[in-house]
Chain A
Amino acid sequence: MSGSAEEVKKHIDVYMKVAGALAVGTVVTVLASFVEVGVALGIVIALIIALTKGSLVVAFFMHLLEERSRAIRWTLALTVVFWFVLMLVPLFTMMDHTGTPKTLPNANASESHAEEAH
């Protein structure tokens, strides 16, 4: 962010608006979690809100929006790419096994025990 007092003051206005947005986002995400939409949709909604809040922090508080440095932009782009690769690890582990029922090795045994107990 650049130097002049005028601009800094303009920035402060923006900070306050972002702070308000973050507060709203926090409330919304908590409220949304009580709405019964199922696990999958719930995760999507929560992540969208988190992503929005995170983007606001990065864009305004960390001034990435004004960042003109190619070194920083390229580094972050590279990091995002590799981050996505890293997030594929669960897929790499699960793929080819999707559809296989997830049960504990002794799950049937414990179920039958439970029935006996009844």
Chain B
Amino acid sequence: MENVTTAEHVEHEEHGHDEHELSFLQTYVFSQDHKVIGIQYAVTAMLFLLFGFSLMMLMRWQLAFPGAPIPIIGNLLGQANAPGGIMLPEFYNQLGAMHGTIMVFLGVVPLAVGGFGNYVLPLQIGAPDMAFPRLNMASYWSFFLGGVVMFASFFVPGGAANSGWTSYAPLSVIATEGQTWWLVGMLFLIASSLLGSVNFIVTTLQLRAPGLSFMRLPFFVWAQLVTSFLLLLAFPPLQAAGTLQLMDRVAGTSFFMPSGLVVADQALEISGGGNPLLWQHLFWFLAHPEVYVLILPAMGIVAEVIANNTRKPLWGYRALVASIIFLGFMSFVVWAHHMFLTGMGTTISAFFQTTTMIISIPSVVILSALFISLYGGSIRYTVPMLFALAFLPMFGIGGLTGLPLGLSAPDLHLHDTYYVIGHFHYVVAPGTIFALFAGIYYWYPKATGRVMNEVLGKIHFWGSIIAINFVFMPMFITGLAGVNRRLYDGGMTYAHGQEVMEWNAVMSYGAWALGFFQIFFIFNFFWSIRNGRQVNDNPWQSTTLEWQAPSPPPHGNFATPPEAYRGPYEYSVPGASSDFTMQGQASGADPEPARV
């Protein structure tokens, strides 16, 4: 195998001279190469993740020590937001709303779909690029514009959006100007994800290498394909809802404003006749599938890393594929379990709690299959594998704590408490974001030709996994006590919160410790570009097609167009010369005849 890849290297270098030179701008800024766009997406998204996390670290100061001036940076926040370094409630609300928005729409999704999808998917299916390179570029720049609008909204009068990331009407309609910016930003982000999802689906269906039939696709590709369908069909209703809310705010319509609305003892001068529930329905029609947009690519990454580091095939590949398709389908009919307390009626609640219980089945199938995949493997505890292993129990906690929320009766008590925050953060933070870290450590050598430093990686992992549990585990305690999620003082002034208030400081120290351990990652990420250990094209001895390309892959990816001769996870095949048989390797037993 070694010899083959070197030969390809030489061939590629000769080939490279034929290509006409692109200008700097075309190569690195307005690039149409899926790898550059993937890296642009990933780096932008990571910056937003850091920014969104910083907002939360600020909020955690206020929650731990309500009313105390924020040390050092308190005075930099401006008199309008934090006079004397003490955060105002209005500013706290902005931070809360923007933390959610940035983490979901500008951080995790762009990293998981825009970053990993763009970089890895075409390589894994043996394609030279995405099907529509120009649309791909437009998708990134639309995302970038959306990000700029969101970021700029902090500087408009009244600050950024402050009605929560869900922007529930009528509060959001009467909110300050920042909400309008939020809506405009969302329209850009939705346009971006629409362009991206069309591109991903077409690329996956059309540009698969010869022999790469659907049942030979790596699980990550399946995850991205299902995710793209969710983005394609779930986002447009929010586009519609965003347009309606924009009309409410700009043109004075009353789509979400009921008749007779009184704000601050003043009857609003609106035509009325609108319905606030309409916003919630349209919002969650997107936002519940969006939850699966957050988690499915993460599952895909974890599956790749686990198969590679256990040195055995994934257990139940077909069951995994069937589950992820069913999961994607069901995610469209569970949205109203976010709305049990809106008074929408018991019949509908019963319907949605039933679908919610059903959707937990494929999730459990996937998680179980990944757990069983570990059994009997000779596990290599590499840094990506540590993150992938951590994903399993963390996602498990997040998923299981979701069950009481999916049933309408216990949800009466738990709705809008810190319990909910704990639940979905276990899914998204130590779940999805850990999986994304696994992916970064795993595919870094493909993008740079070097591996990230292992010692720093392990410090990053162990520090993060311990700190993050100090952040989110206590939330279940305070949440069960009934502390509401949006309180400016963390519940200090509420009688029922008194017994659990000491946990607020614990969670805050956990959050800051988590921030501290990310420094190791950030340093490692940049330092390894030049100083990481140089490796060959397939440092993890992996089987899938992306490892057949040179590291980093040139424009057009493969020196010779690859072909797939076998399934994606042929590890430790009895009788094979090594413990991995690459998909593109023609020699040896070909268990099933190649189908296009």
A-B contact count (CB 8 A): 40
Q: Encode B326-356 as 1/0 by CB contact (under 8 A) with A.
A: 0001001100100000001111100000000
9 examples of A-B residue contacts, CB within 8 angstroms: A89-B282, A92-B336, A93-B281, A93-B344, A95-B347, A95-B348, A96-B345, A104-B259, A104-B272
Cα-based distance from A96 to B348 in the complex (angstroms): 8
Please determine whether B344 and A96 come into contact, CB atoms closer than 8 angstroms: yes
> Which B residue's beta carbon lies closest to that of A79?
B233
Chain B residues positioned under 8 Å from A93 (CB to CB):
275, 277-278, 281, 344
Distance from B280 Cβ to chain A, minimum over Cβ atoms (Å)? 9
Chain A residues positioned under 8 Å from B234 (CB to CB):
82
Q: Given the interface contacts A71-B205, A78-B229, A86-B237, does A92 sit within 8 Å of B344 by beta carbon? A: yes
Chain B residues positioned under 8 Å from A85 (CB to CB):
332-333
Q: Encode A71-93 as 1/0 by CB contact (under 8 A) with B.
A: 10000001100100110010011
Chain B residues positioned under 8 Å from A79 (CB to CB):
233
Distance from A101 Cβ to chain B, minimum over Cβ atoms (Å)? 14
Please determine whether A89 and B285 come into contact, CB atoms closer than 8 angstroms: yes
Q: Given the interface contacts A86-B237, A92-B281, does A106 sit within 8 Å of B347 by beta carbon? A: no
Distance from A76 Cβ to chain B, minimum over Cβ atoms (Å)? 11
Distance from A70 Cβ to chain B, minimum over Cβ atoms (Å)? 10
Please determine whether A96 and B347 come into contact, CB atoms closer than 8 angstroms: yes
Q: Which of A82, A95, A97, A105 contacts B259 (CB 8 A)?
A: A105
B interface, size bucket: 20 to 34
Chain B residues positioned under 8 Å from A106 (CB to CB):
260
Cα-based distance from A96 to B229 in the complex (angstroms): 32
Cα-based distance from A96 to B329 in the complex (angstroms): 27
Distance from B268 Cβ to chain A, minimum over Cβ atoms (Å)? 13
Cα-based distance from A79 to B229 in the complex (angstroms): 10
Apart from A78-B233, A104-B259, 12 more pairs, CB < 8 Å: A82-B233, A82-B332, A85-B332, A86-B237, A92-B336, A93-B275, A93-B277, A93-B281, A95-B345, A96-B345, A96-B346, A104-B260
- Nearest 6 Cβ contacts at the A-B interface: A96-B345, A105-B260, A89-B281, A93-B277, A104-B259, A92-B348
Most buried by A among B229, B237, B348: B348
Cα-based distance from A14 to B333 in the complex (angstroms): 40
> Which B residue's beta carbon lies closest to that of A98?
B345
Cα-based distance from A93 to B277 in the complex (angstroms): 7
Distance from B213 Cβ to chain A, minimum over Cβ atoms (Å)? 14
> Which B residue's beta carbon lies closest to that of A93?
B277
Chain B contacts with A in 295-354, Cβ cutoff 8 A? 329, 332-333, 336, 344-348
Chain A residues positioned under 8 Å from B278 (CB to CB):
89, 93
Chain A residues positioned under 8 Å from B345 (CB to CB):
95-97
Distance from A89 Cβ to chain B, minimum over Cβ atoms (Å)? 5
Cα-based distance from A92 to B347 in the complex (angstroms): 9
Chain A contacts with B in 39-70, Cβ cutoff 8 A? none
Chain B residues positioned under 8 Å from A96 (CB to CB):
344-348
Distance from A86 Cβ to chain B, minimum over Cβ atoms (Å)? 6
Distance from B88 Cβ to chain A, minimum over Cβ atoms (Å)? 34
Distance from B328 Cβ to chain A, minimum over Cβ atoms (Å)? 10
> Which B residue's beta carbon lies closest to that of A96?
B345
Distance from B288 Cβ to chain A, minimum over Cβ atoms (Å)? 12
Cα-based distance from A104 to B270 in the complex (angstroms): 14
Q: Encode B205-237 as 1/0 by CB contact (under 8 A) with A.
A: 100000000000000000000000100011001
Cα-based distance from A85 to B352 in the complex (angstroms): 12
Distance from A74 Cβ to chain B, minimum over Cβ atoms (Å)? 10
Cα-based distance from A81 to B332 in the complex (angstroms): 10
Most buried by B among A71, A93, A97: A93
> Which A residue's beta carbon lies closest to that of B281?
A89
Cα-based distance from A78 to B285 in the complex (angstroms): 15
Distance from A23 Cβ to chain B, minimum over Cβ atoms (Å)? 31
Cα-based distance from A1 to B234 in the complex (angstroms): 31
Cα-based distance from A93 to B336 in the complex (angstroms): 10
Chain B residues positioned under 8 Å from A105 (CB to CB):
259-260
Cα-based distance from A95 to B342 in the complex (angstroms): 13
Chain B residues positioned under 8 Å from A86 (CB to CB):
237, 285
Cα-based distance from A78 to B278 in the complex (angstroms): 23
Cα-based distance from A78 to B345 in the complex (angstroms): 28
Cα-based distance from A58 to B576 in the complex (angstroms): 53
Cα-based distance from A57 to B298 in the complex (angstroms): 41
> Which B residue's beta carbon lies closest to that of A91?
B348
Cα-based distance from A71 to B229 in the complex (angstroms): 12
Chain A contacts with B in 92-118, Cβ cutoff 8 A? 92-93, 95-97, 104-106
